[in-house]
Chains A and B, each alone.
Chain A
Protein backbone atom coordinates (compact mmCIF):
# COMPACT_ATOMS: atom_id res chain seq x y z
CA UNK A 1 0.00 0.00 0.00
CA UNK A 2 2.85 2.32 0.91
CA UNK A 3 4.53 1.57 -2.42
CA UNK A 4 1.36 2.42 -4.33
CA UNK A 5 0.84 5.77 -2.56
CA UNK A 6 4.51 6.50 -3.10
CA UNK A 7 4.21 5.82 -6.80
CA UNK A 8 1.06 7.92 -6.98
CA UNK A 9 2.77 10.79 -5.17
CA UNK A 10 5.61 10.71 -7.66
CA UNK A 11 3.17 10.38 -10.55
CA UNK A 12 5.25 7.46 -11.79
CA UNK A 13 2.42 4.92 -11.52
CA UNK A 14 1.45 5.73 -15.12
CA UNK A 15 4.98 5.66 -16.49
CA UNK A 16 7.10 2.64 -17.16
CA UNK A 17 10.58 2.62 -15.56
CA UNK A 18 13.09 4.12 -17.98
CA UNK A 19 15.62 1.25 -17.93
CA UNK A 20 13.29 -1.65 -18.61
CA UNK A 21 10.72 0.19 -20.74
CA UNK A 22 10.98 -2.14 -23.74
CA UNK A 23 10.57 -5.24 -21.60
CA UNK A 24 7.56 -3.86 -19.71
CA UNK A 25 5.93 -2.64 -22.93
CA UNK A 26 6.35 -6.07 -24.53
CA UNK A 27 4.91 -7.76 -21.46
CA UNK A 28 1.92 -5.40 -21.39
CA UNK A 29 1.14 -5.89 -25.10
CA UNK A 30 1.55 -9.68 -24.83
CA UNK A 31 -0.63 -9.69 -21.72
CA UNK A 32 -3.30 -7.66 -23.51
CA UNK A 33 -3.31 -10.14 -26.43
CA UNK A 34 -3.66 -13.09 -24.08
CA UNK A 35 -6.46 -11.34 -22.22
CA UNK A 36 -8.38 -10.52 -25.40
CA UNK A 37 -7.88 -13.99 -26.92
CA UNK A 38 -8.99 -15.55 -23.66
CA UNK A 39 -11.92 -13.18 -23.39
CA UNK A 40 -13.44 -14.04 -26.77
CA UNK A 41 -14.28 -17.70 -26.00
CA UNK A 42 -15.46 -16.67 -22.52
CA UNK A 43 -17.82 -14.11 -24.04
CA UNK A 44 -19.10 -16.64 -26.56
CA UNK A 45 -19.86 -19.26 -23.94
CA UNK A 46 -21.55 -16.83 -21.59
CA UNK A 47 -25.31 -16.37 -21.83
CA UNK A 48 -26.45 -12.99 -23.27
CA UNK A 49 -27.12 -11.59 -19.76
CA UNK A 50 -23.60 -12.43 -18.66
CA UNK A 51 -22.14 -10.90 -21.80
CA UNK A 52 -24.14 -7.76 -21.25
CA UNK A 53 -22.96 -7.55 -17.65
CA UNK A 54 -19.32 -7.60 -18.76
CA UNK A 55 -19.93 -4.98 -21.45
CA UNK A 56 -21.83 -2.71 -19.04
CA UNK A 57 -19.06 -3.02 -16.43
CA UNK A 58 -16.24 -2.29 -18.88
CA UNK A 59 -18.17 0.67 -20.35
CA UNK A 60 -18.84 2.08 -16.90
CA UNK A 61 -15.21 1.75 -15.76
CA UNK A 62 -13.90 3.32 -18.96
CA UNK A 63 -16.23 6.31 -18.60
CA UNK A 64 -15.60 6.54 -14.85
CA UNK A 65 -11.92 7.14 -15.50
CA UNK A 66 -12.55 10.35 -17.47
CA UNK A 67 -15.31 11.54 -15.15
CA UNK A 68 -13.17 10.90 -12.08
CA UNK A 69 -10.21 12.72 -13.59
CA UNK A 70 -12.40 15.77 -14.16
CA UNK A 71 -14.23 15.81 -10.84
CA UNK A 72 -11.47 14.77 -8.42
CA UNK A 73 -9.82 17.78 -6.76
CA UNK A 74 -6.42 18.62 -8.18
CA UNK A 75 -4.65 20.00 -5.14
CA UNK A 76 -3.40 16.90 -3.34
CA UNK A 77 -0.34 18.52 -1.82
CA UNK A 78 -1.74 17.97 1.71
CA UNK A 79 -1.59 14.22 1.09
CA UNK A 80 1.26 14.06 -1.43
CA UNK A 81 3.53 17.04 -0.75
CA UNK A 82 5.49 16.54 -3.95
CA UNK A 83 2.35 16.52 -6.07
CA UNK A 84 1.71 19.20 -8.67
CA UNK A 85 -1.27 21.31 -7.51
CA UNK A 86 -2.64 21.50 -11.05
CA UNK A 87 -3.45 17.81 -11.45
CA UNK A 88 -4.72 14.77 -9.63
CA UNK A 89 -3.20 11.29 -9.81
CA UNK A 90 -5.32 10.37 -12.86
CA UNK A 91 -4.28 13.34 -15.00
CA UNK A 92 -1.01 11.86 -16.35
CA UNK A 93 -3.01 8.88 -17.61
CA UNK A 94 -5.18 11.02 -19.88
CA UNK A 95 -2.50 11.27 -22.56
CA UNK A 96 -1.84 7.50 -22.71
CA UNK A 97 -5.62 6.89 -22.77
CA UNK A 98 -6.03 9.30 -25.69
CA UNK A 99 -3.11 7.61 -27.44
CA UNK A 100 -4.91 4.27 -27.09
CA UNK A 101 -8.03 5.79 -28.66
CA UNK A 102 -5.97 7.09 -31.57
CA UNK A 103 -4.40 3.69 -32.09
CA UNK A 104 -7.86 2.12 -32.19
CA UNK A 105 -8.82 4.77 -34.75
CA UNK A 106 -5.80 3.87 -36.84
CA UNK A 107 -6.75 0.18 -36.70
CA UNK A 108 -10.26 1.10 -37.77
CA UNK A 109 -8.78 3.00 -40.71
CA UNK A 110 -7.13 -0.21 -41.83
CA UNK A 111 -10.46 -1.97 -41.54
CA UNK A 112 -12.21 0.70 -43.59
CA UNK A 113 -9.53 0.69 -46.24
CA UNK A 114 -9.73 -3.09 -46.46
CA UNK A 115 -13.48 -2.90 -46.98
CA UNK A 116 -13.09 -0.27 -49.70
CA UNK A 117 -10.39 -2.18 -51.58
CA UNK A 118 -12.27 -5.46 -51.28
CA UNK A 119 -15.45 -3.92 -52.70
CA UNK A 120 -13.70 -2.40 -55.71
CA UNK A 121 -11.54 -5.46 -56.36
CA UNK A 122 -14.70 -7.53 -56.50
CA UNK A 123 -16.30 -4.99 -58.85
CA UNK A 124 -13.30 -5.17 -61.16
CA UNK A 125 -12.91 -8.96 -61.09
CA UNK A 126 -16.60 -9.64 -61.61
CA UNK A 127 -16.89 -6.80 -64.14
CA UNK A 128 -19.92 -5.29 -62.40
CA UNK A 129 -21.41 -2.11 -63.90
CA UNK A 130 -18.93 0.80 -63.97
CA UNK A 131 -16.06 -1.48 -62.99
CA UNK A 132 -13.72 0.85 -64.87
CA UNK A 133 -14.03 3.39 -62.06
CA UNK A 134 -13.08 0.68 -59.59
CA UNK A 135 -9.86 0.08 -61.55
CA UNK A 136 -9.14 3.82 -61.44
CA UNK A 137 -9.67 3.84 -57.67
CA UNK A 138 -7.44 0.84 -57.08
CA UNK A 139 -4.59 2.16 -59.25
CA UNK A 140 -4.81 5.63 -57.66
CA UNK A 141 -4.90 4.10 -54.20
CA UNK A 142 -1.79 1.97 -54.75
CA UNK A 143 0.22 4.72 -56.45
CA UNK A 144 -0.66 7.43 -53.91
CA UNK A 145 -0.11 5.12 -50.93
CA UNK A 146 3.29 4.02 -52.25
CA UNK A 147 4.49 7.53 -52.95
CA UNK A 148 3.18 8.86 -49.61
CA UNK A 149 4.94 6.13 -47.65
CA UNK A 150 8.18 6.73 -49.56
CA UNK A 151 7.83 10.48 -49.03
CA UNK A 152 7.36 10.05 -45.28
CA UNK A 153 10.38 7.73 -45.12
CA UNK A 154 12.38 10.30 -47.09
CA UNK A 155 11.35 13.06 -44.64
CA UNK A 156 12.72 10.93 -41.82
CA UNK A 157 15.84 10.26 -43.95
CA UNK A 158 15.30 6.51 -43.95
CA UNK A 159 15.28 6.42 -47.77
CA UNK A 160 16.82 8.87 -50.17
CA UNK A 161 14.60 11.56 -51.65
CA UNK A 162 15.37 11.21 -55.35
CA UNK A 163 14.16 13.67 -58.01
CA UNK A 164 11.64 11.11 -59.34
CA UNK A 165 10.00 10.68 -55.93
CA UNK A 166 9.95 14.41 -55.30
CA UNK A 167 8.45 15.20 -58.69
CA UNK A 168 5.92 12.37 -58.62
CA UNK A 169 4.72 13.21 -55.10
CA UNK A 170 4.53 16.88 -55.96
CA UNK A 171 2.41 16.16 -59.05
CA UNK A 172 0.03 13.91 -57.16
CA UNK A 173 -0.24 15.91 -53.94
CA UNK A 174 0.32 19.58 -54.78
CA UNK A 175 -1.00 19.60 -58.31
CA UNK A 176 -3.78 17.00 -58.09
CA UNK A 177 -5.09 16.34 -54.58
CA UNK A 178 -4.82 19.90 -53.32
CA UNK A 179 -6.42 21.32 -56.48
CA UNK A 180 -9.23 18.75 -56.43
CA UNK A 181 -9.94 19.65 -52.79
CA UNK A 182 -10.16 23.31 -53.76
CA UNK A 183 -12.38 22.52 -56.76
CA UNK A 184 -14.82 20.48 -54.66
CA UNK A 185 -15.06 23.30 -52.11
CA UNK A 186 -15.71 25.77 -54.93
CA UNK A 187 -18.75 23.74 -55.98
CA UNK A 188 -20.45 24.98 -52.83
CA UNK A 189 -20.57 28.54 -54.24
CA UNK A 190 -22.50 27.34 -57.26
CA UNK A 191 -24.72 25.02 -55.29
CA UNK A 192 -25.74 27.75 -52.83
CA UNK A 193 -26.63 29.94 -55.80
CA UNK A 194 -29.04 27.36 -57.21
CA UNK A 195 -30.33 26.44 -53.74
CA UNK A 196 -30.98 30.08 -52.80
CA UNK A 197 -32.68 30.79 -56.14
CA UNK A 198 -34.94 27.82 -55.57
CA UNK A 199 -35.60 28.14 -51.85
CA UNK A 200 -35.88 31.86 -51.07
CA UNK A 201 -39.47 32.45 -52.12
CA UNK A 202 -42.16 34.60 -50.52
CA UNK A 203 -44.42 31.76 -49.46
CA UNK A 204 -45.34 32.97 -45.99
CA UNK A 205 -44.64 35.83 -43.59
CA UNK A 206 -41.79 33.93 -41.93
CA UNK A 207 -40.23 33.02 -45.29
CA UNK A 208 -40.40 36.66 -46.37
CA UNK A 209 -38.74 37.88 -43.18
CA UNK A 210 -36.05 35.25 -43.63
CA UNK A 211 -35.47 36.24 -47.24
CA UNK A 212 -35.22 39.99 -46.64
CA UNK A 213 -32.98 39.57 -43.60
CA UNK A 214 -30.71 37.25 -45.56
CA UNK A 215 -30.47 39.76 -48.39
CA UNK A 216 -29.69 42.62 -45.98
CA UNK A 217 -26.92 40.63 -44.31
CA UNK A 218 -25.54 39.40 -47.65
CA UNK A 219 -25.18 42.91 -49.01
CA UNK A 220 -24.20 44.46 -45.67
CA UNK A 221 -21.20 42.25 -44.98
CA UNK A 222 -19.44 42.96 -48.30
CA UNK A 223 -17.65 46.20 -49.36
CA UNK A 224 -20.39 46.95 -51.91
CA UNK A 225 -22.89 47.38 -49.09
CA UNK A 226 -20.90 50.20 -47.55
CA UNK A 227 -20.78 51.91 -50.95
CA UNK A 228 -24.56 51.67 -51.37
CA UNK A 229 -25.31 52.97 -47.90
CA UNK A 230 -23.30 53.30 -44.65
CA UNK A 231 -26.34 51.98 -42.79
CA UNK A 232 -26.13 48.55 -44.44
CA UNK A 233 -22.97 47.30 -42.66
CA UNK A 234 -24.38 48.58 -39.34
CA UNK A 235 -27.65 46.72 -39.90
CA UNK A 236 -25.81 43.57 -40.94
CA UNK A 237 -23.57 43.66 -37.86
CA UNK A 238 -26.60 44.29 -35.65
CA UNK A 239 -28.43 41.28 -37.12
CA UNK A 240 -25.38 39.07 -36.62
CA UNK A 241 -24.63 40.25 -33.09
CA UNK A 242 -28.13 40.82 -31.68
CA UNK A 243 -30.36 38.33 -33.53
CA UNK A 244 -28.06 35.58 -34.70
CA UNK A 245 -26.02 35.29 -31.49
CA UNK A 246 -28.95 34.74 -29.06
CA UNK A 247 -30.52 32.19 -31.43
CA UNK A 248 -27.18 30.48 -31.76
CA UNK A 249 -26.75 30.47 -27.98
CA UNK A 250 -30.18 28.92 -27.45
CA UNK A 251 -29.47 26.14 -29.92
CA UNK A 252 -26.04 25.51 -28.40
CA UNK A 253 -27.57 25.16 -24.92
CA UNK A 254 -29.99 22.56 -26.22
CA UNK A 255 -27.30 20.70 -28.15
CA UNK A 256 -24.93 20.74 -25.19
CA UNK A 257 -27.56 19.42 -22.79
CA UNK A 258 -28.68 16.81 -25.32
CA UNK A 259 -25.10 15.67 -25.82
CA UNK A 260 -24.53 15.43 -22.07
CA UNK A 261 -27.74 13.43 -21.57
CA UNK A 262 -26.79 11.05 -24.37
CA UNK A 263 -23.29 10.64 -22.94
CA UNK A 264 -24.78 9.77 -19.52
CA UNK A 265 -27.09 7.21 -21.12
CA UNK A 266 -24.20 5.62 -23.01
CA UNK A 267 -21.99 5.59 -19.93
CA UNK A 268 -24.63 3.92 -17.79
CA UNK A 269 -25.62 1.61 -20.66
CA UNK A 270 -29.16 2.95 -20.61
CA UNK A 271 -28.99 3.59 -24.36
CA UNK A 272 -29.92 0.51 -26.32
CA UNK A 273 -29.78 2.04 -29.77
CA UNK A 274 -26.74 0.83 -31.64
CA UNK A 275 -25.57 -2.17 -29.64
Chain B
Protein backbone atom coordinates (compact mmCIF):
# COMPACT_ATOMS: atom_id res chain seq x y z
CA UNK B 1 0.00 0.00 0.00
CA UNK B 2 2.81 2.39 0.87
CA UNK B 3 4.64 1.79 -2.39
CA UNK B 4 1.62 1.80 -4.71
CA UNK B 5 2.46 2.96 -8.22
CA UNK B 6 1.26 6.58 -8.44
CA UNK B 7 -0.35 5.89 -11.81
CA UNK B 8 -3.03 3.85 -10.04
CA UNK B 9 -3.74 6.90 -7.87
CA UNK B 10 -3.99 9.08 -10.97
CA UNK B 11 -6.38 6.64 -12.63
CA UNK B 12 -8.62 6.50 -9.56
CA UNK B 13 -8.71 10.30 -9.35
CA UNK B 14 -9.43 10.60 -13.06
CA UNK B 15 -12.37 8.18 -12.85
CA UNK B 16 -13.66 10.00 -9.76
CA UNK B 17 -13.58 13.36 -11.53
CA UNK B 18 -15.27 12.06 -14.68
CA UNK B 19 -18.04 10.30 -12.75
CA UNK B 20 -18.96 13.27 -10.59
CA UNK B 21 -18.60 15.77 -13.41
CA UNK B 22 -21.13 13.83 -15.44
CA UNK B 23 -23.39 12.82 -12.57
CA UNK B 24 -26.51 14.99 -12.12
CA UNK B 25 -25.89 15.26 -8.37
CA UNK B 26 -25.92 18.92 -7.22
CA UNK B 27 -25.35 19.91 -3.61
CA UNK B 28 -26.25 23.37 -2.36
CA UNK B 29 -23.38 25.38 -0.92
CA UNK B 30 -23.27 27.19 2.39
CA UNK B 31 -22.56 30.85 1.76
CA UNK B 32 -19.23 31.88 3.23
CA UNK B 33 -18.73 35.40 4.68
CA UNK B 34 -16.31 36.59 1.94
CA UNK B 35 -18.79 35.70 -0.80
CA UNK B 36 -21.68 37.28 1.09
CA UNK B 37 -19.62 40.49 1.41
CA UNK B 38 -18.82 40.36 -2.31
CA UNK B 39 -22.50 40.06 -3.18
CA UNK B 40 -23.53 42.82 -0.77
CA UNK B 41 -20.98 45.24 -2.21
CA UNK B 42 -22.27 44.79 -5.74
CA UNK B 43 -25.82 45.08 -4.49
CA UNK B 44 -24.94 48.56 -3.23
CA UNK B 45 -24.14 49.74 -6.76
CA UNK B 46 -26.53 52.21 -8.35
CA UNK B 47 -27.55 52.16 -12.04
CA UNK B 48 -24.86 53.85 -14.10
CA UNK B 49 -22.04 53.26 -11.61
CA UNK B 50 -18.76 52.44 -13.32
CA UNK B 51 -16.81 49.28 -12.51
CA UNK B 52 -13.36 48.15 -13.72
CA UNK B 53 -12.92 44.41 -14.20
CA UNK B 54 -9.37 43.16 -14.41
CA UNK B 55 -9.45 39.77 -16.11
CA UNK B 56 -6.06 38.05 -16.19
CA UNK B 57 -6.88 34.36 -16.47
CA UNK B 58 -6.29 32.06 -19.39
CA UNK B 59 -7.38 28.57 -20.41
CA UNK B 60 -5.43 26.89 -17.64
CA UNK B 61 -7.65 28.31 -14.87
CA UNK B 62 -10.85 28.37 -16.90
CA UNK B 63 -12.65 26.01 -14.52
CA UNK B 64 -12.28 28.44 -11.62
CA UNK B 65 -12.24 31.89 -13.19
CA UNK B 66 -14.79 31.51 -15.98
CA UNK B 67 -17.79 30.85 -13.68
CA UNK B 68 -16.64 33.78 -11.52
CA UNK B 69 -16.45 36.22 -14.42
CA UNK B 70 -19.75 35.06 -15.89
CA UNK B 71 -21.54 35.51 -12.57
CA UNK B 72 -19.92 38.90 -11.94
CA UNK B 73 -20.90 40.26 -15.34
CA UNK B 74 -24.45 38.92 -14.88
CA UNK B 75 -24.76 40.65 -11.52
CA UNK B 76 -23.37 43.94 -12.85
CA UNK B 77 -25.86 43.87 -15.71
CA UNK B 78 -28.64 43.16 -13.26
CA UNK B 79 -27.65 46.30 -11.34
CA UNK B 80 -27.41 48.22 -14.65
CA UNK B 81 -23.84 49.17 -13.85
CA UNK B 82 -21.40 50.16 -16.57
CA UNK B 83 -18.17 48.19 -16.73
CA UNK B 84 -14.88 48.11 -18.56
CA UNK B 85 -12.55 45.13 -18.77
CA UNK B 86 -8.75 45.19 -18.85
CA UNK B 87 -6.23 42.33 -19.17
CA UNK B 88 -2.53 41.98 -18.47
CA UNK B 89 -2.17 38.79 -20.44
CA UNK B 90 -2.63 38.45 -24.20
CA UNK B 91 -4.54 35.18 -24.00
CA UNK B 92 -6.82 36.50 -21.29
CA UNK B 93 -7.66 39.51 -23.45
CA UNK B 94 -9.20 37.26 -26.10
CA UNK B 95 -10.89 34.91 -23.66
CA UNK B 96 -12.47 37.65 -21.53
CA UNK B 97 -13.54 39.66 -24.58
CA UNK B 98 -15.29 36.72 -26.22
CA UNK B 99 -16.93 35.69 -22.96
CA UNK B 100 -18.17 39.20 -22.18
CA UNK B 101 -19.43 39.63 -25.73
CA UNK B 102 -21.45 36.42 -25.51
CA UNK B 103 -23.03 37.20 -22.15
CA UNK B 104 -23.79 40.86 -22.88
CA UNK B 105 -25.37 40.01 -26.24
CA UNK B 106 -27.69 37.55 -24.49
CA UNK B 107 -28.82 40.25 -22.04
CA UNK B 108 -28.96 43.13 -24.52
CA UNK B 109 -26.02 45.14 -23.15
CA UNK B 110 -24.50 47.36 -25.83
CA UNK B 111 -20.77 47.50 -26.45
CA UNK B 112 -19.44 50.99 -26.14
CA UNK B 113 -22.60 52.26 -24.42
CA UNK B 114 -22.72 50.09 -21.33
CA UNK B 115 -19.50 48.12 -21.44
CA UNK B 116 -16.13 48.11 -23.18
CA UNK B 117 -12.92 46.11 -23.25
CA UNK B 118 -9.68 48.10 -22.95
CA UNK B 119 -7.55 45.28 -24.29
CA UNK B 120 -4.15 44.20 -23.10
CA UNK B 121 -1.70 46.24 -20.99
CA UNK B 122 1.77 44.77 -20.49
CA UNK B 123 2.64 46.20 -17.09
CA UNK B 124 -0.11 46.41 -14.50
CA UNK B 125 1.59 48.75 -12.01
CA UNK B 126 2.48 51.26 -14.70
CA UNK B 127 -1.00 51.00 -16.21
CA UNK B 128 -2.71 51.62 -12.85
CA UNK B 129 -0.46 54.58 -12.07
CA UNK B 130 -1.24 55.98 -15.50
CA UNK B 131 -4.98 55.39 -15.14
CA UNK B 132 -5.00 57.15 -11.77
CA UNK B 133 -3.57 60.32 -13.30
CA UNK B 134 -4.95 60.22 -16.84
CA UNK B 135 -7.01 57.23 -17.94
CA UNK B 136 -7.79 58.24 -21.57
CA UNK B 137 -4.12 58.91 -22.33
CA UNK B 138 -2.99 55.71 -20.65
CA UNK B 139 -5.43 53.36 -22.38
CA UNK B 140 -5.81 55.37 -25.61
CA UNK B 141 -7.94 52.82 -27.46
CA UNK B 142 -10.11 49.82 -26.74
CA UNK B 143 -9.78 46.29 -28.05
CA UNK B 144 -11.67 47.21 -31.23
CA UNK B 145 -9.35 50.11 -31.96
CA UNK B 146 -11.87 52.80 -30.98
CA UNK B 147 -10.40 55.77 -29.13
CA UNK B 148 -11.35 55.69 -25.46
CA UNK B 149 -12.47 59.32 -25.57
CA UNK B 150 -15.10 58.36 -28.14
CA UNK B 151 -16.64 55.57 -26.03
CA UNK B 152 -19.92 56.69 -24.40
CA UNK B 153 -19.44 54.23 -21.52
CA UNK B 154 -16.43 56.23 -20.24
CA UNK B 155 -17.56 59.66 -21.41
CA UNK B 156 -16.16 62.28 -19.03
CA UNK B 157 -14.03 59.74 -17.17
CA UNK B 158 -10.60 61.23 -16.49
CA UNK B 159 -9.16 58.83 -13.94
CA UNK B 160 -9.58 55.60 -12.09
CA UNK B 161 -11.02 57.67 -9.22
CA UNK B 162 -14.20 58.03 -11.28
CA UNK B 163 -14.83 54.31 -10.90
CA UNK B 164 -16.83 52.91 -8.00
CA UNK B 165 -15.22 49.52 -7.89
CA UNK B 166 -12.41 47.31 -9.20
CA UNK B 167 -13.01 43.57 -9.55
CA UNK B 168 -9.88 41.52 -10.05
CA UNK B 169 -10.52 38.10 -11.62
CA UNK B 170 -7.13 36.47 -11.65
CA UNK B 171 -5.05 33.33 -11.07
CA UNK B 172 -1.96 35.36 -10.16
CA UNK B 173 -1.03 37.78 -7.38
CA UNK B 174 -2.21 41.01 -8.98
CA UNK B 175 -4.46 42.24 -6.17
CA UNK B 176 -1.58 43.69 -4.07
CA UNK B 177 -0.72 45.87 -7.07
CA UNK B 178 -4.31 47.13 -7.29
CA UNK B 179 -4.36 47.74 -3.52
CA UNK B 180 -1.05 49.62 -3.64
CA UNK B 181 -1.73 51.93 -6.54
CA UNK B 182 -5.46 52.37 -7.00
CA UNK B 183 -7.32 55.31 -5.43
CA UNK B 184 -8.51 54.67 -1.91
CA UNK B 185 -12.08 55.74 -2.67
CA UNK B 186 -12.45 52.86 -5.12
CA UNK B 187 -13.47 49.54 -3.57
CA UNK B 188 -11.63 46.39 -4.56
CA UNK B 189 -13.25 42.97 -4.89
CA UNK B 190 -11.24 39.85 -5.58
CA UNK B 191 -11.92 36.66 -7.54
CA UNK B 192 -8.87 34.41 -7.22
CA UNK B 193 -8.31 30.73 -7.80
CA UNK B 194 -8.48 28.61 -4.64
CA UNK B 195 -4.68 28.45 -4.36
CA UNK B 196 -4.30 32.25 -4.36
CA UNK B 197 -7.16 32.80 -1.91
CA UNK B 198 -5.07 31.82 1.11
CA UNK B 199 -2.88 34.87 0.85
CA UNK B 200 -5.84 37.22 0.35
CA UNK B 201 -7.36 36.71 3.80
CA UNK B 202 -5.00 39.34 5.22
CA UNK B 203 -6.40 41.95 2.83
CA UNK B 204 -9.94 40.83 3.52
CA UNK B 205 -9.37 41.08 7.26
CA UNK B 206 -7.90 44.59 7.02
CA UNK B 207 -10.68 45.78 4.72
CA UNK B 208 -8.40 46.48 1.79
CA UNK B 209 -10.54 44.13 -0.26
CA UNK B 210 -14.25 44.23 0.44
CA UNK B 211 -15.23 40.76 -0.70
CA UNK B 212 -13.86 37.61 -2.29
CA UNK B 213 -15.10 34.73 -4.44
CA UNK B 214 -12.75 31.78 -4.11
CA UNK B 215 -12.45 29.44 -7.07
CA UNK B 216 -15.24 27.28 -8.38
CA UNK B 217 -16.82 26.81 -4.96
CA UNK B 218 -17.02 30.57 -4.44
CA UNK B 219 -18.56 30.86 -7.89
CA UNK B 220 -21.15 28.26 -6.91
CA UNK B 221 -22.07 30.22 -3.75
CA UNK B 222 -22.31 33.43 -5.75
CA UNK B 223 -24.49 31.76 -8.40
CA UNK B 224 -26.71 30.52 -5.58
CA UNK B 225 -27.08 34.06 -4.23
CA UNK B 226 -27.89 35.34 -7.71
CA UNK B 227 -30.29 32.45 -8.35
CA UNK B 228 -28.62 31.50 -11.64
CA UNK B 229 -27.33 28.23 -13.02
CA UNK B 230 -23.71 28.36 -14.00
CA UNK B 231 -20.58 26.24 -14.21
CA UNK B 232 -19.64 26.82 -10.59
CA UNK B 233 -21.99 24.20 -9.18
CA UNK B 234 -20.93 21.18 -11.26
CA UNK B 235 -17.23 22.04 -10.84
CA UNK B 236 -17.57 22.57 -7.09
CA UNK B 237 -19.39 19.28 -6.69
CA UNK B 238 -16.66 17.45 -8.57
CA UNK B 239 -14.05 19.10 -6.37
CA UNK B 240 -15.99 17.98 -3.27
CA UNK B 241 -15.68 14.32 -4.13
CA UNK B 242 -12.09 14.68 -5.24
CA UNK B 243 -11.25 16.16 -1.84
CA UNK B 244 -13.08 13.29 -0.17
CA UNK B 245 -11.07 10.81 -2.22
CA UNK B 246 -7.77 12.50 -1.30
CA UNK B 247 -8.71 12.48 2.40
CA UNK B 248 -9.65 8.81 2.15
CA UNK B 249 -6.29 7.94 0.62
CA UNK B 250 -4.37 10.03 3.16
CA UNK B 251 -6.09 8.12 5.95
CA UNK B 252 -5.51 4.84 4.13
CA UNK B 253 -1.83 5.65 3.72
CA UNK B 254 -1.50 6.44 7.42
CA UNK B 255 -3.33 3.26 8.33
CA UNK B 256 -0.94 1.26 6.14
CA UNK B 257 2.03 3.03 7.75
CA UNK B 258 0.73 2.20 11.26
CA UNK B 259 0.16 -1.44 10.31
CA UNK B 260 3.69 -1.62 8.95
CA UNK B 261 5.09 -0.23 12.19
CA UNK B 262 3.09 -2.65 14.31
CA UNK B 263 4.24 -5.54 12.18
CA UNK B 264 7.86 -4.40 12.41
CA UNK B 265 7.55 -4.19 16.21
CA UNK B 266 6.04 -7.67 16.39
CA UNK B 267 8.83 -9.09 14.27
CA UNK B 268 11.43 -7.31 16.36
Contact = CB atoms under 8 A, between A and B. Distances in A.
Contacts, number: 124
Given A218-B243, A248-B201, A202 B254 contact: yes
A78 interface: no
B243 A223 contact: no
A218 B247 contact: yes
Nearest to B5: A194
Contacts of A249: 202
A18 interface: no
A185 interface: yes
Given A226-B29, A245-B202, A196 B217 contact: no
Q: Is the interface of A mostly helix, strand, loop or mixed?
A: helix
A240 B201 contact: yes
A146 interface: no
Nearest to B233: A223
B27 A240 contact: no
A236 to B, nearest CB: 8
B9 interface: yes
A202 B202 contact: no
Nearest to A208: B254
B10 A194 contact: yes
A185 B193 CA distance: 12
A27 interface: no
Interface string B171-183: 0000000000000
7 contacts: A182-B60, A197-B9, A202-B258, A222-B217, A223-B27, A244-B201, A248-B202
A174 B236 CA distance: 26
A86 interface: yes
Contact of B236 (A86, A223, A241): A223
A156 B69 CA distance: 28
Interface in A214-246: 215, 218-219, 221-227, 230, 233, 237, 240-241, 244-245
A262 to B, nearest CB: 18
User: Which bracket fits the contact residues of B?
Assistant: 35 or more
A102 B33 contact: no
Contacts of B27: 223-224, 226-227
B30 A233 contact: yes
B120 to A, nearest CB: 12
B243 A219 contact: yes
Nearest to A87: B133
A223 B240 contact: yes
Given A223-B237, A244-B198, A184 B133 contact: no
A71 to B, nearest CB: 16
B10 A196 contact: no
A189 B6 CA distance: 13
A114 interface: no
A259 B243 CA distance: 36
A241 B60 contact: no
B58 A197 contact: no
Contacts of A245: 201-202, 204-205
